[in-house]
């Protein structure tokens, strides 16, 4: 379906850019009554920028093919973050290029004096963030008296970031007859209140697909050992080989650590977190757009408003805090009709939280173990055989060199060299624990089975005892506890003696000859989401599981003649005592 009734000047830009048919939100907006205010809810990455650019054209240009002399701005677009504002500015520049529009961007972190000079020179369209726009208005640098159109892009996110007061001051400074186009992922109560105050009989447009809210995103949940999250990130990147990937961590420190670990293994990655300067952030994003970096490790705050090309993969190295964070993170991929994959790495100990998170977001995910090294190597073979370089036409120079190579060497030798060259640019996959602890689907769909465990009456040696704060109640299992202990304490499997798994904790024995080394190793803080190992006393031979604490005082502290139940008021109810 072609674009319905776009402005002729903008139709030229669409054709030159290769836009043949509109996205659902673009079609819905162009079919709305001309000149009306709009309240639009649409998914992230649905083509909103082009949509409101097309919608505003009739108001800004009328019947004219080009803008006149740039003076006070005619259109104001407000976005929540620097990155999103810069992205919107770039989109509007090519869309309005045939109309000779002058677009000025005003965002925090940039040179305010340069922005002031640009505004003084005149602008047709101004794009900015709330705080910087308000600052220019208060300083008299930005005159909104001639404004015809105001666009609030991702209004829900601006309210979440605390920009309500800034937005209200900006909107109060605009002419009352202006058009207001408000875009939001959801129309919550505060968005509806804002719309009622600043819009006139707005046309409501809803292109979100609530029955299929994540149709362009495939969700996968990978169960991993608590100490293997970093290794799992490596294998996920290698398994999917996406041209662009975004990896989310919970903290700045986690971003620094994971980015360093990936670069050490040979991945071209960049980091984004709130501590970076604007130049560092801009350089990182440019490296991703140019293809010099393949993946970005970021915190939630740093990744707001990002729209990166060829971003086919999102990895949640740390679980999102809530439903909104999950959907916002995942929404960085699967944009504008392209498919994407969102991978959640879930330690065994956090499975229940992941299930509740997905259920609250209405997301159906495929559960499995992490990609294994052999599986990745098989994929590498398939990718090599299908590589376009083996299908592309061969030049005369290349053919001549190929004949010279084959004249002195067997074909198998040349082919083997090609394979080595291909593999040399690929980081090695990691050997991870097999997904043998938990093969069942989420607990909502199948009855839970008991996991196998060591016999707690196994014979003990004369080693030192330690404890982990996880037990049978949370699925503790030697199959993944043993590798965890080995990595945390720098020991091997043969150094671990008896293991006793109780309801809420696990005690294990370490050989005396490695005890000092083990104690020194476990002093280091555990990784994000990991568990701390502590010294412990040896469990009694008859102990099979944790017992609930007694209500009364310990046996040695009972008054003479006292009963095990303690004072009378702490005894069980009559109904219980009669059983």
Q: According to the model, what pLDDT value does residue 215 have?
A: 62
Q: According to the model, what pLDDT value does residue 396 have?
A: 86
CATH of 8-206, one of 3.40.50.150, 3.40.50.300, 3.10.180.10, 1.10.10.60: 3.40.50.300
Tell me the Cα Rg of the chain: 31
Q: According to the model, what pLDDT value does residue 540 have?
A: 67
Residue 45 φ/ψ region, left for φ over 0, alpha for ψ in the -120 to 50 degree band, beta for the rest: left
CB–CB of 56/91 below 8 Å?
no
- Tell me how long the chain is: 579
Q: According to the model, what pLDDT value does residue 269 have?
A: 93
Q: According to the model, what pLDDT value does residue 450 have?
A: 40
In degrees, to the nearest 5, what angle opens at C-alpha 35 toward C-alphas 34 and 38?
A: 95
Mean pLDDT per 10-residue segment, the chain (579 residues): 78 86 85 89 77 92 91 94 88 94 91 93 95 93 94 85 89 93 82 90 77 69 89 94 90 92 91 81 83 89 67 92 84 75 90 91 90 90 82 83 86 85 82 58 41 41 87 85 86 88 92 90 77 84 46 41 42 41
Q: According to the model, what pLDDT value does residue 468 have?
A: 92
**For 110-122, b where at least 16 C-beta lie within 10 A, e where not — what string?**
bebeebbebbeee
Q: According to the model, what pLDDT value does residue 217 have?
A: 87
Q: According to the model, what pLDDT value does residue 577 have?
A: 40
Q: According to the model, what pLDDT value does residue 45 have?
A: 66
Burial class (CB in 10 A: 0-12, 13-18, 19+), 523: exposed
Q: Between the CA of residue 75 and those of 146, 149, 339, 496, what are the distances in Å? A: 9, 5, 33, 70
Q: According to the model, what pLDDT value does residue 453 have?
A: 39
pLDDT (tens digit, 9 = 90+) per residue, 325-370? 888 888 888 765 678 899 999 988 788 899 999 998 888 899 998 9
CATH of 217-372, one of 3.20.20.110, 3.40.50.300, 1.10.1370.30, 3.40.718.10: 3.40.50.300
Q: According to the model, what pLDDT value does residue 566 have?
A: 43
What CA–CA distance (Å, rounded) separates 259 from 270? 7
Q: According to the model, what pLDDT value does residue 44 have?
A: 64
CB atoms within 10 A of CB 187: 18
Q: According to the model, what pLDDT value does residue 336 have?
A: 59
**CATH fold label, 464-535:** Alpha-Beta Plaits (3.30.70)
Q: According to the model, what pLDDT value does residue 542 have?
A: 54
Q: According to the model, what pLDDT value does residue 342 have?
A: 94
pTM above the 0.75 mark? Answer: no
């Amino acid at each position: 379906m072609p674009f319905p009734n776009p402005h002729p000047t903008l139709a030229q830009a669409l054709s030159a850019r290769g836009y043949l048919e509109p996205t659902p939100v673009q079609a819905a907006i162009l079919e709305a009554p001309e000149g009306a205010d709009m309240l639009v809810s649409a998914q992230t990455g649905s083509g909103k920028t082009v949509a409101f650019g097309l919608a505003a054209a009739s108001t800004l240009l009328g019947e004219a093919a080009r803008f006149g002399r740039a003076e006070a701005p005619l259109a104001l677009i407000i976005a929540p973050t620097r990155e999103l504002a810069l992205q919107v500015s770039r989109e509007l520049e090519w869309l309005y290029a045939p109309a000779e529009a002058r677009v000025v961007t005003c965002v925090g972190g940039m040179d305010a004096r340069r922005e002031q000079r640009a505004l003084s020179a005149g602008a047709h369209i101004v794009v900015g963030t709330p705080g910087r726009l308000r600052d220019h208005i208060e300083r008299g640098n930005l005159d909104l008296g001639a404004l015809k159109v105001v666009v609030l892009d991702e209004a829900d996110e601006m309210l979440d970031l605390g920009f309500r007061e800034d937005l209200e001051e900006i909107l109060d400074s605009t002419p009352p007859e202006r058009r207001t186009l408000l875009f939001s992922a959801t129309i919550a109560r505060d968005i509806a209140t804002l719309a009622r105050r600043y819009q006139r009989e707005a046309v409501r447009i809803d292109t979100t697909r609530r029955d299929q809210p994540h149709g362009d995103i495939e969700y996968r949940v990978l169960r991993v050992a608590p100490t293997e999250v970093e290794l799992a990130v490596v294998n996920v990147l290698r398994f999917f080989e996406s041209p662009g990937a975004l990896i989310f961590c919970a903290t700045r420190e986690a971003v620094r650590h994971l980015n360093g670990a990936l670069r050490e293994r040979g991945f071209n990655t960049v980091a984004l977190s709130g501590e970076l300067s604007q130049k560092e952030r801009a350089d990182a994003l440019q490296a991703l757009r140019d293809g010099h970096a393949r993946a970005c490790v970021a915190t939630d705050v740093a990744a707001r408003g990002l729209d990166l090309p060829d971003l086919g993969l999102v990895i949640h190295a740390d679980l999102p805090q809530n439903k909104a964070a999950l959907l916002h993170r995942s929404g960085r991929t699967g944009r504008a009709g392209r498919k994407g994959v969102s991978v959640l790495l879930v330690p065994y100990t956090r499975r229940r939280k992941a299930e509740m998170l997905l259920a609250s977001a209405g997301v159906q995910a495929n559960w499995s173990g992490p990609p294994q090294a052999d599986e990745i190597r098989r994929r590498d073979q398939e990718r090599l055989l299908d590589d376009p370089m083996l299908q592309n036409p061969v030049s005369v120079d290349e053919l001549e060199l190929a004949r010279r190579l084959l004249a002195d060497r067997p074909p198998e030798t040349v082919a083997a060299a090609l394979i080595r060259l291909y593999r040399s640019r690929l980081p090695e996959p990691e050997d991870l624990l097999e997904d043998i602890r938990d093969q069942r689907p989420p607990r909502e769909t199948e009855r839970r089975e008991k996991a196998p465990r060591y016999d707690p009456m196994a014979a003990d040696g004369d080693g030192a005892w330690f404890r982990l704060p996880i037990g049978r109640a949370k699925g503790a299992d030697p199959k993944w506890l043993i590798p965890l202990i080995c990595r945390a304490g720098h020991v091997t499997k043969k150094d671990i003696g008896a293991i006793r798994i109780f309801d809420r904790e696990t005690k294990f024995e370490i050989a005396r000859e490695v005890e000092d080394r083990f104690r020194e190793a476990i002093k280091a803080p555990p990784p994000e989401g990991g568990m701390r190992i502590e010294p412990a006393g040896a469990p009694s031979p008859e102990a099979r599981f944790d017992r609930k604490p007694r209500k009364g005082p310990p046996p040695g502290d009972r008054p003479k003649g006292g009963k095990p139940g303690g004072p009378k008021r702490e005894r069980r109810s009559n109904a219980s005592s009669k059983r």
